[in-house]
Amino acid sequence: MIHKERMTARLEGEFVILLIGMRINQFWKIHRWIPVMQAMGKMLKELYTKPKLGLLHHEMAWGRTFIIVQYWRSMDLLMDYAKSKDAEHLPAWREFNQKIGKDGAVGIWHETYAASKGTYENIYANMPPFGLGKAATLEIAQGKKESARGRLSKE
């Protein structure tokens, strides 16, 4: 459903935005980067089948560099998942280091940001629910929420 109104997303409490992905450096070494892509897919499947792990939603874009934007309920849940011996991430991380290491065929990366009321803002116009707007509550951006400064208010 496309919202023709200007919308903004609000998520109660603190949350985490994780940007994570991979970059294909050597396209001809498909045997190196396909397993990395497959591991990312396994992790996302696991996270959606086990909501208690803390993933709220994700968006993905691809090209030479793949990027997944993830919204997490908390930093603790994200860190617990990353270090869990019972989850897909740790074995995938170990396999990457053992099989690819520093050969340069494929790169992986992530950036993690903690957000709380007054530290983030967003706007969606002529858009279906997307990004944080899919993980949170969408509301019409009116009154003080019409401007970025107003959406950044801690009130």
Q: What is the pLDDT of residue 101?
A: 85
- How far is Cα 5 from Cα 13, in angstroms, rounded to an integer? 25
Instruction: List residues bridging with 60 in a β-sheet.
Output: 68
Q: Please name the helix (run of DSSP H) or strand (run of DSSP E) that holds residue 75, with its range, or none.
A: helix 75-83
CB 124 within 8 A of CB 137: no
pLDDT at position 154 is 82
Low-confidence ranges of the chain (pLDDT < 50): none
Q: According to the model, what pLDDT value does residue 34 have?
A: 94
| Number of alpha carbons in the 13 Å side-chain half-sphere of residue 70 | 23
pLDDT of 82 reads 96
pTM of the model: 0.92
Question: Per residue in 114-125, pLDDT tens?
Answer: 999 999 999 999
CATH class of this structure's domain 1-155: alpha beta
Q: What is the pLDDT of residue 155?
A: 73
| Residue 50 to residue 48: CA distance in whole angstroms | 5
